[in-house]
Structure 1
Amino acid sequence: MKPIKFILSLLLMLLASSSAESKCSKTCDLALASYYIWEGTNLTYISNIMQSNVVSKPLDIFSYNTDTLPNLDMLRFSSRLNVPFPCDCINDEFLGHTFLYEFHPRETYASIAELTFSNLTNKEWMEKVNVPDSVKVNVTVNCSCGDKMVSKDYGLFITYPLSSEDTLESIAKHTKVKPELLQKYNPGVNFSKGSGLVFIPGKDKNGVYVPLPHGSLATAVGGTCTVLLLAISIYAIYFRNKNAKESKLPSKYIVVDKSPKFSYEELANATDKFSLANKIGQGGFGEVYYGEPRGKKTAIKKMKMQATREFLAELKILTRVHHCNLVHLIGYCVEGSLFLVYEYIDNGNLSQNLHDSERGPMTWSTRMQIALDVARGLEYIHEHSVPVYIHRDIKSDNILLNENFTGKIADFGLTRLTDSANSTDNTLHVAGTFGYMPPENVYGRISRKIDVYAFGVVLYELISAKPAVIKIDKTEFESEIRTNESIDEYKSLVALFDEVIDQKGDPIEGLRNLVDPRLEDNYSIDSISKMAKLARACLNRDPKRRPTMRAVVVSLMTLNSTIDDGSRSASAALSTVMEHDSK
C-alpha cells in the first residue's frame, strides 16, 4: 500500500499538467451529495453522520428535497436525496469535505464507504487518509464548484456516485440536465460503468440553479474534475456494487403516497368469499384472511363497522409512517364491512414461533435480531415520525416475522398520537393486553414509556419462550400458598423473572432455568444476562426511569455485535440504560 505522500505527489503532477487554474485556491461554500437511501435509514441518521456547518438537523436536508420528499418521515427506499455539505479546498490540492465518523464494532472501511456513506467515498480512499484502529475516522467526499469555461449559469454541484443502472440518458432524464452539459462537466467519463463519481449541476432549496459568483475563481471542473476522477480511479478497485443489490429490493419496501382502494368483490374473490379455509387469524377487532387480490399475497383484516375508530387509526398511521420494521399497508375497502389489506408475512407472529412446539426453535442470534428489529420500529414511531405515535399494544402476537425472520410491528388499531415526544396524556379508556400493561395504565396515563414496558416483556419472552401470563401448577405454588387456598394459579412473566433477579447471590443459575429449553446449550449466558438486565430497565415501575427506545436500540446493536466474539463492550453500552433501573 503506497503512502499518502505518493498519492498527493501524483495529484500535484496531474494538476500541474492540466492547467494553471486547476489547483483550488478558494471554496464555493456549498455542494450537494447524492445519498442513496438504503433500507432502515432515516433523515435523523443521515443528518447525524453528515453533520457540518450547513447540516445540524433533518430539516436542513429536507429543505433541499421538498420536491421529492412529501414530509420528514417519508423516505423512499432505493431512491436518492441531496445532502448539503461544505465544499472545502483540502490541503490546497482538491475540493472536498472531510466528515468525522465514529467507528463501531464490526464495521469496516468498506461498509462505511459503501453503506453508511452510500458510496460517496470508497475503501481505498479511506485507507489512505486514516490511521488504523482509530475510534474516529475521516470520511472524505469530493465536490465541485463549477467551471466558468463551460457555463457561468451553474455554481452549485451534486457529487453523484454512479450505480449499475445509471446511463448518461437516465441521469439526464432524472436531473433534467442536458446530456451534452453533463459530458462537458465530466469529460471522458463513462456514465454506464457503474462506479465512480460525476458532478451534476444542482438546485438550491428554492428549486433554482445557482449561477457562478461574479468574478469567481472557483475551481474548474473541466480540468480539475478530470484530475480528481483520475486520482479516484487509482483508489477505486471497486466502488458501486451496493446500488445493484438495493435496486432489487422487494416491492414491499417501496413507499407509496396513498394506499389503493379495493372493491368488496375483489377481496371476496381473493378469499373464496372469506371462507374458513382462508382464515389465518382472529383479532380483537376482526378476522384476518389470506388472499391474492391483484396478484399480491396479502393478509386481509375484516372489521365490523363498529370498529371505525380502530380502522381509521390504522389507515391514518400506516399511510403516513413507513419503515422496514412496520407492517406495510397495501390498501383498504369500506363496502359492507371495513377492510385493511396488508403485505402477507410468511412466518406468522412471534408468539407462534416461540410457543408452538411444532415449529422449529429459533436460534438465540435470531431472537436477538428480532428484538433489534422491533426496537427499531418502535424507535421510529417514537422519535422520527411527525407526529409522534404510541402503539399501546406491543406484544408477541403483534410482531410478525417474514421468511428471513425479520420482525415487523403490526396492529396499530390502538395507536395514539401525541403532540410531543415527551408528553404524557390521560385517558379514561385503558387499552392494551394483560401481562404487557405497565402499572400507570390503571390511571390512564399514556406516554411512549408504555411501549417501552411492553417491549421489556417481549424481551423476557424471547429468553424464556414463556407467555406473558403463565399458568402455574398448584403443586409448585403450595409453599407460597400455605393457608391461602384461594390464591390465583397464574403468574406474570415479569414476576417470574423478578424472583430470579432479586434473589440473593448470583442470579445466573436462576436465569439458566428460565431459558427456553429448546435452545439447549446454544446460547451465551452472558448475552442472556445482559438481555434480562435490559428488559428489567424497560420494566421499571417508574415510567420516567425507563430508557427511551433510542437508548434500547443502541444497547441491542452493541449486544448483537458481541454475541460471537464475547466482547465486554455491551456492558458499557448498557450502563447508561441501567442507570434508570431502580434496585
Structure 2
Amino acid sequence: SGCDHALGSYYVASNQNVTYIASLFGFSDYRVLGKYNPGIPNLDFVAAGDRLNVPFPCQCIAPPSAPASTFLAAPIRYDVHTGDTYISIADQFNNLTTPAWLQATNTYPANNIPDVGSVNVTVNCSCGDPGISTAYGLFLTYPLRDRETLASVAANHSFSSPEQMDLLRKYNPGMDGVTGSGIVYIPAKDPNGSYLPLKSQGTGKKSSAGAIAGGVVAGVLALVLGVVLFLFYRRRKAKQDALLPSSEESTRLASAVSMQKVTPSSSQADGASPAAGITVDKSVEFSYEELFNATEGFNIIHKIGQGGFGAVYYAELRGEKAAIKKMDMQATQEFLAELKVLTHVHHLNLVRLIGYCTESSLFLVYEFIENGNLSQHLRGTGYEPLSWVERVQIALDSARGLEYIHEHTVPVYIHRDIKSANILIDKNTRAKVADFGLTKLTEVGGGTSLQTRVVGTFGYMPPEYARYGDVSPKVDVYAFGVVLYELISAKDAIVRSTESASDSKGLVYLFEEALNAPDPKEGLKRLIDPKLGDDYPIDAILKVSKTCSGLPSLRGWIG
C-alpha cells in the first residue's frame, strides 16, 4: 500500500544546482530540502559529486503494459520538451531511474515522445518490512556508483554495526558485495534526527502485506456446504479416478523426453501414421504436421488465448477436443517444467496433459476445458453469474489440486503462478488448476524455503517472495487466498482507481481495510460481488476473510 515518505539519494552533476534538482521532484522552493540534508549547511553551495536527499511519497503503482503487476515507487511527473528521449530524461535523474523503467511505466513509444505533455518518472522505494524489523519505516533509495558497495554506503550513513549490517543484508538480498551498480535501501533519519518506526498497519494483524493463512477451504466447507458437499466430491472422485493416466505411462514419457535438452522429434518422420485414437491413460508425442493441420496452420480463428510463454489454440485431435500451447524455443525451461510436472502428477483438479511436440517450436497439448477460466467468469462478459455455492465448489476444487502437489507428491511441487486466470472451469462448473510453466520442485525435508528469481503475477505474490524470492508452498497458499478474495468480490487482484493508475491498491489491502473497520461486516458488504445479490452468508464470508489475513509465519499449507 506504500507509505507517506521515502527519500532518494540524488547524485549532483557538474551542470546542476539545487533549484533545478528540486524542480525535477515538483518542489518550487528548494529550501524544503534543507531539513533532509543536515550534512549540507548551505544549499546554495552544493558541489558536483555531492549527494542530495530528496523526499517523495512511496506508492504502489502499476505499469500500463502490465496493470496486474505492481511495485513500490514514486511516480514523479516530468514535463517533456522538444527532443526529449527516455535516455535523456533518465540522465537528468542520475540513476534514480532508467530508460527501461521509463518505457515500461509510460504509454509513449521510445521513438515517439511528443514535444508537449508529461511522462511518469518512477523512482523505486521501500517502506520497510515488518518481517525484518519494525524499528525502521523511512528508507533512502541509494543508486550505487563507482566503487560503492552496500558496506561503504552503510558506513557513510553510520549504519554499519554487525547487527545493522545483518539487517541491511536482509533488506537488500543479493546486494552484499556488489560494486558500482544497482540500488540499495538504507534506513534513514527524519528531520529530527530519529529513525522512524514502521507504521503499525505494517505489522501484526493489521499488516498491509496481508499474509494468507492455510486451512481456508476447510473452513469454507464447514461454514457453507458442510458434509453434503464433501460427500458429493468424494463420490465424484471415486467415479472419475479411473480416468486418470497411469503412473507407468507417465514414467515412460518422462524418460522419453530429456529434462536437460529438447531436440526435435523424429518419431513420426517419413510419413509414419500416428497410432489411431487418443486414450486417457497415455501421453502422445505428436508430429508438427498433425498439430499444424489440426489448427489450419495455427490460424487465428483457432486461437483461444495468449499467455506469457505462448499462444493457445483449439483443435480436435483424433476425435478429442484439445488445447495446444505453442511456445518459442526460448521457453525451454518453462516447457520442461510443465512437462515434468504433468507427466508425474495426475489429479482430477489438475489439467490433464495429452501430449507434446518439439518440432519447429515447443508444443504442449492439454485436454480442452470448454468453459473458460475463473477470471472470465468473475469479470468477463457472456457468462452466467456464479452462485455462492458454485464459488465455494471452485475454491474447494482448486485447493484439492494444490493440496495434492504440496503434500502428496515427492518431490513437492510449488506452482508459483496461482491466479484466477490459471483456474479453468469445465461445463459442470468444476475447477482445474492449469499453467505449470513456473513450477518449482523441492525435496521433502529439504528446508522450509529456497531462494530463486522472482516470477509470477504481482498482486498474488506474498511480500517475502516478491521481496526476497523465498519459495515454499506458502507462495501458493497466499495466492490461493487472493483467489478466495476474488471469488467473494469479483475484483482483480490489483484494483485500479478510475482516476489514476498510481492509486491502485491490492485486493488484500482492501479486505484488510474492511476487516479493520469499526463494523467489518459492513465493510465486507461493500466488497462483495453485487451479482451475488443477497445470496451469500455474511458470517461465513467474515470468518473466511479473517482466516485469509495473518502473518507469514502463521500461513499454513492447503489441506
Scaled by the length of structure 1, what TM-score is found? 0.49
Q: Which runs of 5+ in 2 are unaligned?
A: 1-221, 254-282
Decide which of 404, 409, 414 is 1:380's aligned counterpart: 404
Kept after mapping to 1: 8 A contact 2:410/2:444:
no
Kept after mapping to 2: 8 A contact 1:299/1:343:
yes
Question: How far does the alpha carbon of each residue in 1:68-99 deviate from its partner, in whole angstroms, 9 at most, with x for none?
Answer: xxxxxxxxxxxxxxxxxxxxxxxxxxxxxxxx
Question: Partner letter of residue 289 of structure 1?
Answer: Y
Residue 26 of structure 2 is matched in structure 1 by none
| Structure 1 pair 472–377 and aligned structure 2 pair: CA distance change class (3 A) | same
Specify the SS of the correspondent of 2:400.
helix
Residue 483 of structure 2 is matched in structure 1 by 458
- Describe how 1:272-287 pairs up with structure 2 within 5 A: 272-287=296-311
Residue 368 of structure 1 is matched in structure 2 by 392
- Describe how 1:165-184 pairs up with structure 2 within 5 A: none
| Structure 1 pair 430–330 and aligned structure 2 pair: CA distance change class (3 A) | same
Question: How far does the alpha carbon of each residue in 1:429-456 deviate from its partner, in whole angstroms, 9 at most, with x for none?
Answer: 1111010011112111111111111011
- Describe how 1:338-349 pairs up with structure 2 within 5 A: 338-349=362-373
Kept after mapping to 2: 8 A contact 1:393/1:451:
yes
Instruction: Give the number of aligned pairs.
Output: 302
Decide which of 286, 302, 310 is 2:334's aligned counterpart: 310
Kept after mapping to 1: 8 A contact 2:324/2:366:
yes
The separation in 1 between residues aligned to 2:322 and 2:335, in whole angstroms, is 17
| Structure 1 pair 336–247 and aligned structure 2 pair: CA distance change class (3 A) | same
The separation in 2 between residues aligned to 1:389 and 1:248, in whole angstroms, is 23
Residue 546 of structure 2 is matched in structure 1 by 533
The separation in 2 between residues aligned to 1:107 and 1:428, in whole angstroms, is 40
- Describe how 1:371-520 pairs up with structure 2 within 5 A: 371-420=395-444, 423-441=447-465, 442-474=467-499, 488-504=502-518, 506-520=519-533
Decide which of 295, 303, 310 is 1:271's aligned counterpart: 295
| RMSD between aligned residues | 2.7
- Deviation of 1:247 (Å): 6.4
Kept after mapping to 2: 8 A contact 1:422/1:447:
no
The separation in 1 between residues aligned to 2:462 and 2:529, in whole angstroms, is 24
Structure scoring higher RCO (CA < 8 A, sep ≥ 6) equals: 2
Does 1:327 find its partner at 2:351?
A: yes
- Describe how 1:65-464 pairs up with structure 2 within 5 A: 251=243, 256-257=249-250, 258=253, 259-420=283-444, 423-441=447-465, 442-464=467-489
The separation in 2 between residues aligned to 1:247 and 1:424, in whole angstroms, is 36
Residue 549 of structure 1 is matched in structure 2 by 558
Kept after mapping to 1: 8 A contact 2:244/2:347:
no
Specify the SS of the correspondent of 1:371.
helix
The separation in 2 between residues aligned to 1:289 and 1:447, in whole angstroms, is 32
- Deviation of 1:473 (Å): 2.9
The separation in 2 between residues aligned to 1:450 and 1:341, in whole angstroms, is 27
Question: How far does the alpha carbon of each residue in 1:90-113 deviate from its partner, in whole angstroms, 9 at most, with x for none?
Answer: xxxxxxxxxxxxxx99669xx99x
Decide which of 520, 533, 536 is 1:523's aligned counterpart: 536
Kept after mapping to 1: 8 A contact 2:312/2:325:
yes
The separation in 2 between residues aligned to 1:407 and 1:332, in whole angstroms, is 23
The separation in 2 between residues aligned to 1:427 and 1:106, in whole angstroms, is 39
The separation in 2 between residues aligned to 1:413 and 1:424, in whole angstroms, is 22
- Deviation of 1:531 (Å): 2.3
The separation in 1 between residues aligned to 2:241 and 2:513, in whole angstroms, is 46
Specify the SS of the correspondent of 2:383.
coil
Kept after mapping to 2: 8 A contact 1:383/1:421:
no
Question: Partner letter of residue 298 of structure 2?
Answer: F
Residue 261 of structure 2 is matched in structure 1 by none
Specify the SS of the correspondent of 1:297.
strand
The separation in 2 between residues aligned to 1:365 and 1:497, in whole angstroms, is 21
Specify the SS of the correspondent of 2:344.
coil
- Deviation of 1:285 (Å): 0.3
Specify the SS of the correspondent of 1:452.
helix
| Structure 1 pair 472–338 and aligned structure 2 pair: CA distance change class (3 A) | same
The separation in 2 between residues aligned to 1:523 and 1:422, in whole angstroms, is 42
Specify the SS of the correspondent of 1:380.
helix
The separation in 1 between residues aligned to 2:227 and 2:509, in whole angstroms, is 39
The separation in 2 between residues aligned to 1:374 and 1:423, in whole angstroms, is 25
The separation in 1 between residues aligned to 2:427 and 2:484, in whole angstroms, is 21
| Structure 1 pair 422–511 and aligned structure 2 pair: CA distance change class (3 A) | farther
The separation in 1 between residues aligned to 2:323 and 2:514, in whole angstroms, is 40
- Deviation of 1:385 (Å): 0.5
Question: How far does the alpha carbon of each residue in 1:495-541 deviate from its partner, in whole angstroms, 9 at most, with x for none?
Answer: 1111111123x3001111110001111111112212212322xxx34
Question: Partner letter of residue 531 of structure 1?
Answer: V
Specify the SS of the correspondent of 2:318.
helix
Specify the SS of the correspondent of 1:351.
helix
The separation in 1 between residues aligned to 2:242 and 2:470, in whole angstroms, is 40
| Structure 1 pair 547–428 and aligned structure 2 pair: CA distance change class (3 A) | closer
The separation in 2 between residues aligned to 1:489 and 1:106, in whole angstroms, is 40
Report sequence identity in percent. 56
| Structure 1 pair 357–397 and aligned structure 2 pair: CA distance change class (3 A) | same
| Structure 1 pair 403–415 and aligned structure 2 pair: CA distance change class (3 A) | same
Specify the SS of the correspondent of 2:285.
coil
Highest Rg: 1 or 2?
1
- Deviation of 1:357 (Å): 3.6
- Deviation of 1:422 (Å): 6.8
- Deviation of 1:457 (Å): 0.4
